[in-house]
């Protein structure tokens, strides 16, 4: 079974993020859910992003990196949207990383190194009509470039336009897409055994 660090999105450590972590635990995995917002949960994505801006994206990311320091090195790093930043950074830079799960976001590999590390499998999940993932932030282009650069990467696109579609506590929740994302996540983790 895998040990996973799961970083929340910009609305905070919501009930939906905790429910997702619990689903992975029920499958036998150890899952850590650090709170990068120190207890703050926001009703909208914009409110959460405002908090992250005021706090400083660097400070939020540093909280994520610090949360992983107490863990061993054989960890899978997972992140939802904003949480992809520390997850991807650790997957690319921390020796012994077992894998990465990047939900709703992907940054260019060059942000954290020259190439994706050999032997570190990664899955990227997003909706094909999500303006954050497809248009505004360039995440889809970064995901496609990552997949093209290594045989260790998989990109899964789901029909729809929602950003936080796997968080069951939010109005953007898409049950069919979330169920498929969860199935693919569990299959990914099972392959690491």
Residue 9 CB coordination number (10 Å) = 28
87: Cβ contacts below 8 Å, ≥ 6 apart: 5, 7, 64, 77, 78, 79, 100, 101, 102
pLDDT digits (tens, 9 = 90+) for 135-171: 877 899 999 999 999 999 999 999 999 999 999 999 9
- The whole-number average pLDDT for the span 118-129 is 96
Q: How many domains would you assign to the chain?
A: 1
Task: Assign residue 170 the CATH number of its domain.
Answer: 3.40.50.1820
Distance of CA 62 to the CA centre of its chain: 16
How long a stretch of residues is the chain?
193
What are the residues facing 8 on neighbouring strands? none
For the whole model, what pTM was predicted?
0.96
Tell me the residue range of the domain where 9 lies. 3-191
Residue 28 has pLDDT above 80, yes or no: yes
């Amino acid at each position: 079974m895998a040990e996973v660090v799961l970083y929340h999105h910009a609305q905070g450590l919501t009930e939906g993020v905790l429910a997702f972590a619990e689903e992975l635990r029920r499958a036998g995995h150890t899952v850590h859910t650090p709170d990068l917002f120190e207890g703050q949960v926001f009703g909208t994505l914009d409110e959460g992003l405002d908090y992250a801006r005021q706090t400083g994206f660097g400070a939020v990311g540093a909280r994520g990196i610090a949360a992983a320091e107490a863990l061993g090195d054989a960890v899978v790093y997972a992140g939802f949207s904003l949480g992809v930043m520390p997850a991807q950074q650790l997957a690319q830079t921390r020796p012994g990383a077992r894998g990465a799960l990047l939900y709703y976001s992907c940054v260019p590999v060059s942000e954290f190194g020259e190439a994706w590390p050999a032997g570190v499998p990664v899955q990227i999940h997003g909706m094909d009509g999500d303006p954050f993932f497809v248009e505004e932030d360039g995440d889809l282009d970064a995901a496609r470039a990552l997949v093209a650069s290594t045989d260790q990467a998989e990109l899964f696109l789901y029909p729809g336009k929602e950003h936080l579609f796997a968080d069951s506590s939010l109005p953007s929740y898409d049950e069919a897409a979330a169920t498929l994302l969860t199935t693919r996540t569990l299959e990914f983790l099972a392959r690491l055994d």
